[in-house]
Amino acid sequence: MNQKQEQLQAQRMQATRMTVASSLLQSLLIGLFAAAGTTSWTVASAFGLLSMGSTGFFLLAVQRGWNLRFRNRGLLWAQLLANYAIQLVFIVAAPKLWIIFLSSSLVSFNYAMLGFTPRQFRWTWLGFGATTALALWLGRERFAYPELSGINIALLWLFFFLAVRRLSLLGMQFSTLRAELSQRNRQLTLSLARIQELASHDELTGAFNRRHFMGLLQDERERAHRARQPYSVALFDLDHFKTVNDRFGHAAGDSVLRDFCTLVEAHMRVTDRFARWGGEEFVLLMPVVTPAESAALAVERIRGAVAAHDWSSTSTLPADVRVTVSAGVATSLPGESVQALIARADAALYRAKDAGRNCFVLAG
């Protein structure tokens, strides 16, 4: 049995102990009514034997794990039906105490409702109405109330006092369930937020991933088409990044990638969108660039920040190692697809590499 099953079994054990305690209290109460002469000791003894016997059997079943063999492992329906049948029998057998047994049935159903589906609740409610009506009809000629003696009034008060206690416990269970549900909802919200972040962000660098970026780029193309305003895309490639991995290890390389993203986010505009394109390649979306040279200024600002950065301060690279970046920049043309725009930026990036790296080239 795994830990979760052990916790559930412990909860079932606690709930079954509560039913045993309730049966014991009701049996003692019926015994007190017998001592007061309101009912016979035969009725009190029979009720105690049946009630304590049935709840004791269910307690033993949970202790031994017999309940795990059944689909309804809490044995909710079995316990409910057994208790309800006993209460119905004694509505007829002890007509002076019919209000006691009827009220106990109602409290028991309140406990059972914790595990009811809407359909089960509807049919149980109808069954409760039909069977109690039958029991009341069968015993109608013998029904009475306990004599209004001091002891009977005290016992009736005691019964309803204990019934309120049972209902209060039920309310506490509902409160606990609400608290657990709220906690699970909070955990679910955090999990969904994490899933959404993983779906849209690169796990290593925290930048947008390629798939999410393409959606942003398509949205920007449609906006730019409606507004008739150009937008630009820049593709970045870290120069000789393979050498960093080979000389200093992949951990150092990962640190460089993260630091590069931090630098870009610190120097790009708040309206720009940045993503990891793949490997050591990254892409920057710059909406509404007018004139087109504005994109060149933004890319040059990033290139200069990367070239001037002290990589030993934020990564495991030696102080004498420099990291630079090459970039290709393309500004949208009327009616141009995002694929064509990216292709022009990529071609410009290759020209920047051919030109000696650590520079950028504007696409024609």
pTM: 0.54
pLDDT tens-digit map of 24-76: 888 888 888 888 888 889 999 998 999 899 988 988 988 888 888 887 777 77
Q: What secondary structure, in 3-state letters, does the chain show?
A: CCHHHHHHHHHHHHHHHHHHHHHHHHHHHHHHHHHCCCCCHHHHHHHHHHHHHHHHHHHHHHHHCHHHHCCCCCCHHHHHHHHHHHHHHHHHHCHHHHHHHHHHHHHHHHHHHHHCCHHHHHHHHHHHHHHHHHHHHHCCCCCCCCCCCHHHHHHHHHHHHHHHHHHHHHHHHHHHHHHHHHHHHHHHHHHHHHHHHHHHECCCCCCECHHHHHHHHHHHHHHHHHHCCCCEEEEEEECCHHHHHHHHCHHHHHHHHHHHHHHHHHHCCCCCEEEEEECCEEEEEECCCCCCHHHHHHHHHHHHHHHHCCHHHCCCCCCCCCCCEEEEEEECCCCCCHHHHHHHHHHHHHHHHHCCCCCEEECC
The answer to whether residue 281 is domain-embedded is: yes
Q: Are residues 48 and 179 in the same domain?
A: yes
Q: Are residues 218 and 330 in the same domain?
A: yes
Q: Are residues 218 and 131 in the same domain?
A: no
Number of domains in the chain: 2
- Where in the sequence is the domain holding 94, given as residue range(s)? 3-191
Last residue of a domain, one of 156, 191, 226: 191
Of the listed ranges 170-174, 194-198, 359-363, the least confidently predicted one is 170-174
Last residue of a domain, one of 191, 223, 241: 191
Q: Are residues 228 and 119 in the same domain?
A: no
Query: What local confidence, expressed as pLDDT, does residue 67 receive?
Result: 82
Q: Are residues 89 and 217 in the same domain?
A: no
The answer to whether residue 182 is domain-embedded is: yes
Q: Are residues 185 and 215 in the same domain?
A: no
The answer to whether residue 196 is domain-embedded is: no
pLDDT tens-digit map of 287-319: 976 666 788 899 999 999 999 998 887 667 888
What's the mean per-residue pLDDT of the chain? Answer: 84
The answer to whether residue 142 is domain-embedded is: yes
The answer to whether residue 26 is domain-embedded is: yes
